Structure 1
Amino acid sequence: MDVTQAVNQRISTRAYLDKQITEAEIRDWLTTAQRAPSGGNLQPWRVIVVTGDEKQKVIDLAQQKLAGNPRGEPTDRPIYPKDLWEPHEARRRRVGEMMYETLEIPREDKAGRIQWFARNYRFFDAPVGVFFVIDERMGHGQWAHTGMYMQTLALLAEERGWGTCFQECWGILRPTLKEHFQLGETEMLYCGMALGYPDPDHPVNALRAERADLSEFAELKGFQKA
């Protein structure tokens, strides 16, 4: 597999096979991704990987907390900016509708949509859950570098036949997870990731989110006309 193929086939995998990934495979995957770009070589990321009973503890904790308050806990770092503007809001809504159309869950079936969304907090039944941690004192550059490490992991997962789904939704449980994982005083959880072997027969894994045309986001200047 080349990089272009990995980029093209990567999706947010939301259904997984009951097939385990070994600790040795996880260690190799994380280590290989360490070649991701890192400004000043700070390597500002920290990773917590859970499976088995440790993953179940996180799932149980999420269910307990969200049963009391489905909106989660207060955060000064929301998943999306308040009053998201166009064209970004339209894109966000469109991909959500595409997913529910693929799953044949109509808009009026609010219970069905809520039930599906709750699968986020079970890692979509993936065998492995990954959490990314960053120090709150880091700047925007280090957040970007952490994202580069995360993307590198996603592409390496494709090479290995695995699927991933980045899950910023875990951000609504930051205080609880900070305590659960006994993070340092200035550390915070950024987001999670579901990891495992994709279920090729589940319809949700046929979803490919639309992407903007090049003309919407890129300017190419100074090139000679052909």
Structure 2
Amino acid sequence: MDVKQAVNQRISTRAFLDKPISEAEVRDWLETAQRAPSGGNLQPWRTIVVTGDEKQAVIDLAQKKLAGNPRGEPTDRPIYPPDLWEPHESRRRRVGEMMYEKLGIPREDKAGRIQWFSRNFRFFDAPIAVFFVIDKRMGHGQWAHTGMYMQTLALLAEERGWGSCFQECWGILRDTLHDHFQLGETEMLYCGMAVGWPDPDHPVNQLRAERASVDEIAELKGF
């Protein structure tokens, strides 16, 4: 598989097979991703990978916390900016509707949509979950470099035949997970990532989000 193929076929996988990934495979995956770009070679990222009972403990914690407050905990780093503007808001709404169309859950079935969304907090039954941690003292550059590391992991997962789904939704439990993982005082959890063998027969994995054209997002000058 070349890089272009990995980029083109990568999707947000939201249904996984009941098939494990070994510790040796995870270690090799993480070691290879260490070659991701890093300004100044700071390597500002840190990962926590959970499976088995450790993963279930996180799921149980999320269910307990969200049962009392489905909106989660306050944060100064929301998933999206407040009052998201166009064309970004339309893109966000469109991909959501495309997903529920694939699942056959109509807009009026609010209970069905909530039930599906709750699967986020079970990692869509993926065998492993990754949490990305960064020090709050880092600047925007280091956040960007951490994103490059995350993308590198996603493409390397694709090469291995795995699926992945970045899950910023875990940010609504940032304080709880900080305590659960006993993070350092200046460390914070950015987001999660579900990883495993994708279920090729599940309709949600047929979703391919629309992308803007190059002319919409780029200017080419001097050619």
**AA matched with 1:182:** Q
For residues 9-29 of structure 1, give each alpha carbon's deviation from its aligned partner in whole angstroms, at most 9, with x where no partner exists.
000000000000000000000
* Paired residue secondary structure (1:174): helix
Are residues 1:157 and 2:133 paired?
no
**Residue matched to 1:114:** 114
Shift of 1:53: 0.1
**Residue matched to 2:101:** 101
Query: Over aligned residues, Cα RMSD in angstroms?
Result: 0.3
**Alpha-carbon distance in structure 2 between the residues aligned to 1:17 and 1:82:** 36
What TM-score does the superposition give when structure 1 sets the normalisation length? 0.98
Shift of 1:118: 0.2
**Residue matched to 1:20:** 20
Are residues 1:171 and 2:171 paired?
yes
Identity in percent: 87
**Alpha-carbon distance in structure 2 between the residues aligned to 1:115 and 1:68:** 16
> For structure 2, which runs of at least 5 residues remain unmatched after alignment?
none
**AA matched with 1:202:** H
**Residue matched to 1:195:** 195
**Residue matched to 2:222:** 222
**Alpha-carbon distance in structure 2 between the residues aligned to 1:214 and 1:147:** 21
For residues 135-189 of structure 1, give each alpha carbon's deviation from its aligned partner in whole angstroms, at most 9, with x where no partner exists.
0000000000000000000000000000000000000000000000000000000
**AA matched with 2:100:** Y
**Residue matched to 2:136:** 136
**Alpha-carbon distance in structure 1 between the residues aligned to 2:62 and 2:89:** 27
**Alpha-carbon distance in structure 1 between the residues aligned to 2:214 and 2:6:** 20
**Alpha-carbon distance in structure 1 between the residues aligned to 2:19 and 2:180:** 27
Alignment of 1:49-88 (within 5 A): 49-88=49-88
**AA matched with 1:65:** K
For residues 29-58 of structure 1, give each alpha carbon's deviation from its aligned partner in whole angstroms, at most 9, with x where no partner exists.
000000000000000000000000000000
* Paired residue secondary structure (1:157): helix
Are residues 1:3 and 2:3 paired?
yes
Shift of 1:127: 0.4
**AA matched with 1:82:** P
| Paired residues, number | 223
Shift of 1:109: 0.1
**Alpha-carbon distance in structure 2 between the residues aligned to 1:216 and 1:66:** 39
* Paired residue secondary structure (1:60): helix
**Alpha-carbon distance in structure 2 between the residues aligned to 1:67 and 1:131:** 22
* Paired residue secondary structure (1:204): helix
**Alpha-carbon distance in structure 1 between the residues aligned to 2:213 and 2:149:** 26
**Residue matched to 1:31:** 31
What TM-score does the superposition give when structure 2 sets the normalisation length? 1.00
Shift of 1:87: 0.2
* Paired residue secondary structure (1:35): coil
**Alpha-carbon distance in structure 1 between the residues aligned to 2:201 and 2:90:** 29
**Alpha-carbon distance in structure 1 between the residues aligned to 2:104 and 2:176:** 34
For residues 108-132 of structure 1, give each alpha carbon's deviation from its aligned partner in whole angstroms, at most 9, with x where no partner exists.
0000000000000000000001000
For residues 191-218 of structure 1, give each alpha carbon's deviation from its aligned partner in whole angstroms, at most 9, with x where no partner exists.
0000000000000000000000111110
> For structure 1, which runs of at least 5 residues remain unmatched after alignment?
none
